[in-house]
Chains A and B, each alone.
Chain A
């Protein structure tokens, strides 16, 4: 179970994200706050694994939240949920010690994966990956509907089909090898295959 606290001054957004995350059995939302100060006050007497924070907030902004969390409870991880796809802001967060940077217009899958990776300590921070979150792949909906394949799993299948190794895929998607391996396992079970050869055959059949 990953315990999460969340701060965003757009209340509806904060509640919306919380309710999306709560659909997932691995997450438990411990608190929703509309500014950084309230969040930090809460963290002084409550323990969480992952903190999700917005950048622009009154009283204490995202940068302040990263700093405070890293100073007060260095064991907790911080994920920035931001509207800005600017490298400067990304780098600033990274420098302050943020563990991940997710755009608000990313897929909810992307956010869920990132929280899990950050919690495991396998997340790799890369601005290229942030920019990829902006790109919407129109085909993904169909596969998502039919085989419950996430956008990332779909990318993975395509890369395996092209003959890429785990290492190559990891570099291409800015993921750790560990993450790629666990995605592969999930794809195998979702598509009911047990080897790479079967997977490629199935992918060709399905037109992935």
Chain B
């Protein structure tokens, strides 16, 4: 009987012990799970923040670019036209004076267009294709090089933020070509089907040594940006062979 009592005690003790183990296991699992959840949320928030930061930076850079462009235009174009108009208007010949008035008219148009470009709202309204053609046109009017634009497939449908990032990336590609490549021709093609869109920016300029690894922060940045909007950037270049950049973006609504 005495033995029975101690057996029972041991059983109860074991049972109790087992229960403690189980309870602590559950508690630990719950805590572990919670922590993972928090970590995941944090990650999602970080990605979101990164995305928003990219958009903000892109907007800022677009703005800076526009300001620089407007400044340049005011100095190199509007300023010169005004100087010329002034000379024409002070000419004793009547036909020169009326030509001067014509110039003032042109200056009014130029200034109006410049003030319009200062407002970023146009980004929402413009299609990617139109934007590309506009940027190419700028290079052509500045007599920097020849340009070409091709399009096949459907027109791109992009939400505003993605479009903004893509516009900026294309602008950066063109800036790089202007700054470093000295090409005779810059060609951009947009090729879009239901699965994906491919934008190809190609120049026949100097090119550079590129082995897939980013040499500078510039290319790294562009690739990163392309990744934030769920796309991919592939760059091919070799000295003397020009540069080709492919921007690939999967289409969300197949």
List the interface of chain A (C-beta within 8 A of B): 9-10, 12-13, 16-17, 19-20, 23, 34-35, 56, 58, 83, 103-105, 107-108, 111, 141, 144, 148
Q: How far is the CB of B142 from chain A (nearest CB, A)?
A: 8
B83 touches A144 (CB 8 A): no
A107 touches B87 (CB 8 A): yes
Cα A111 to Cα B84 in complex, Å, equals 12
A10 touches B80 (CB 8 A): yes
Task: Known A9-B143, A58-B143, A105-B86; judge A83-B91 contact (CB<8 A).
Answer: no
Task: Known A16-B84, A58-B143; judge A10-B91 contact (CB<8 A).
Answer: no
| Residue B144 is within 8 A (CB to CB) of chain A in the complex | yes
Q: How far is the CB of B108 from chain A (nearest CB, A)?
A: 15
A12 touches B81 (CB 8 A): yes
Cα A105 to Cα B88 in complex, Å, equals 11
Cα A12 to Cα B90 in complex, Å, equals 18
Cα A141 to Cα B91 in complex, Å, equals 10
Q: Which residues of B contact A144 (CB under 8 A)?
A: 90, 92
Total contacting residues, chain B, CB less than 8 A: 21
Interface string of B63-107 (1 = CB under 8 A from A): 000000000000111011111101110111100100000010000
Q: Which residues of A contact B88 (CB under 8 A)?
A: 16, 20
Looking at B84, B91, B103, which has the most chain A CB atoms within 10 Å of its CB? B84
Q: Which residues of A contact B75 (CB under 8 A)?
A: 83
User: Which 10 A/B pairs are nearest by Cβ-Cβ distance?
Assistant: A104-B83, A108-B87, A105-B83, A16-B84, A13-B80, A10-B80, A13-B84, A83-B79, A20-B87, A104-B80
Q: Which residues of B contact A13 (CB under 8 A)?
A: 80-81, 83-84
Q: Which residues of B contact A16 (CB under 8 A)?
A: 84, 87-88, 103
Q: Which residues of B contact A58 (CB under 8 A)?
A: 142-144
Q: Which residues of A contact B90 (CB under 8 A)?
A: 107-108, 141, 144
Cα A12 to Cα B96 in complex, Å, equals 14
A20: contacting residue among B81, B96, B143, CB under 8 A: B96
Cα A158 to Cα B141 in complex, Å, equals 47
B91 touches A20 (CB 8 A): yes
Q: How far is the CB of A31 from chain B (nearest CB, A)?
A: 17
Q: Which residues of A contact B76 (CB under 8 A)?
A: 10, 56, 83
Q: Which residues of A contact B93 (CB under 8 A)?
A: 23
A105 touches B82 (CB 8 A): yes
A34: contacting residue among B91, B96, B143, B144, CB under 8 A: B143
Q: How far is the CB of A110 from chain B (nearest CB, A)?
A: 10
Listed A/B pairs (15) with beta-carbon separation below 8 Å: A9-B143, A10-B76, A10-B77, A12-B81, A13-B83, A16-B87, A20-B96, A58-B143, A83-B76, A104-B83, A105-B79, A105-B86, A108-B87, A108-B91, A144-B90
Q: Which residues of A contact B87 (CB under 8 A)?
A: 16-17, 20, 107-108, 111
Contacts beyond the supplied A20-B96, A23-B91, A23-B93: 19 A-B pairs with Cβ under 8 Å: A10-B80, A13-B84, A17-B87, A19-B96, A20-B88, A35-B143, A83-B75, A83-B79, A83-B80, A103-B83, A104-B79, A104-B80, A105-B83, A105-B86, A107-B87, A108-B87, A108-B90, A108-B91, A111-B87
